[in-house]
């Protein structure tokens, strides 16, 4: 190997008594939102009505 020594990969080991404590919670709230969709061109605007679409908004809040 051209005079180079190969290093062995060693796995890092966590202590046996280590614990992971999760104190963070995630709160998800959803609220409706109304969006008006208008026709794209003048020809469509003369023949097609405006359409109301209800979408849901998600809000994430993390509490420590």
pLDDT at residue 44, rounded to an integer: 93
Band of pLDDT at residue 34, cut at 50, 70 and 90? very high
What is the average per-residue pLDDT within 36-51? 94
Question: What is the model's pTM?
Answer: 0.43
Task: Name all contacts of 14-20 with Cβ < 8 Å and 24+ positions apart.
Answer: none
Band of pLDDT at residue 23, cut at 50, 70 and 90? confident
Average pLDDT, the chain: 80
Any residues with CB less than 8 A from the CB of 26 and at least 6 apart, and which?
60, 61, 62, 63
């Amino acid at each position: 190997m051209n005079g180079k020594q190969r290093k062995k990969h060693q796995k890092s080991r966590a202590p046996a008594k280590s614990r992971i404590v999760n104190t963070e919670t995630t709160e998800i709230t959803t609220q409706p939102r109304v969006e008006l969709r208008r026709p794209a061109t003048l020809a469509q605007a003369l023949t097609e009505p405006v359409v109301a679409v209800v979408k849901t908004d998600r809000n994430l809040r993390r509490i420590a």
